[in-house]
Amino acid sequence: MRFCLTLAIAGLSMIPMFAAEDGGGPSKFQQEFLKHWSTAKDLTIAVADAMPADGYSFKPNPEEMSFGEQMVHIANANYNYCTRLTGGKSPFQKPETINKASAMKVLGESFDYCTETIQGVKDLDGTGKPMSAREVMLGAYAHMAHHRGQAEVYLRVKGIKPPPYKF
C-alpha cells in the first residue's frame, strides 16, 4: 500500500509544469511566451516603421527579398506557424501591392492572430501530432526573430539605426 501511495505521489510530481494552474487559462509557458511575443511584436513593428516608405523596395543585393517582402514574409510565416496550432487554414492574404502601409498592416494582424491562437491552445504536448504546440510556437518565434534581424541589417545598410531591443 505504501509503495502504491509513493508511486501515486511520484506520478503527480511529474505533471508538466506547463499545465495551467487553474486548469482553465493559459499555462505558465503560454503566459511567458505571450509576454515575449508581445515584446517581439512591438519591436518588429518598430523595425518596420523605421524604414521610410520609399525603402520598402530596397534589397541589399539582387538575391535578397526586399525590405517589404521581408515584412510580408514574417507575417505569412506567423500565420502558417500559428495555423498549425488549430489545424485550420491560414487566413493570410498577401497584399496586392507591398508598400509600407500594407506590409505593416498584415504584419500587425499576423502577430494578433498568433496571440489569439496561442491563448486558446489546450494541448501543449501535441498529443498525436508530429510537432508539439510548444515546438510550433518556438519555431514561429525563431523564424520571426531571424527575419527581423535581417530587416535590421537592411536598415543599417541604409544608414538607419534600428530601434533598441527591450526584453
Distance CA 31, CA 20 (A): 10
Indicate the residue type of 131: M
Q: Which residue has the cell 502558417?
A: 80
User: Environment class of residue 65 by beta-carbon count within 10 Å: exposed (0-12), middle (13-18) or buried (19+)?
Assistant: middle
Q: Are 95 and 106 in contact (CB under 8 A)?
A: yes
pTM, whole model, 2 decimals? 0.84
CA-based torsion, 38, 39, 42, 45: positive or negative: negative
Averages of pLDDT over each 10 residues, the chain, 167 residues: 42 40 74 96 98 97 97 98 93 97 98 96 81 94 98 98 90
Residues 6+ apart with CB under 8 A from 30: 18, 118, 119, 121, 124
Q: Tell me how crowded residue 3 is: count the other CB atoms within 10 A of its CB.
A: 7
The three cell numbers of residue 121 are 491552445
**For residue 68, what pLDDT is reported?**
98
**For residue 8, what pLDDT is reported?**
41
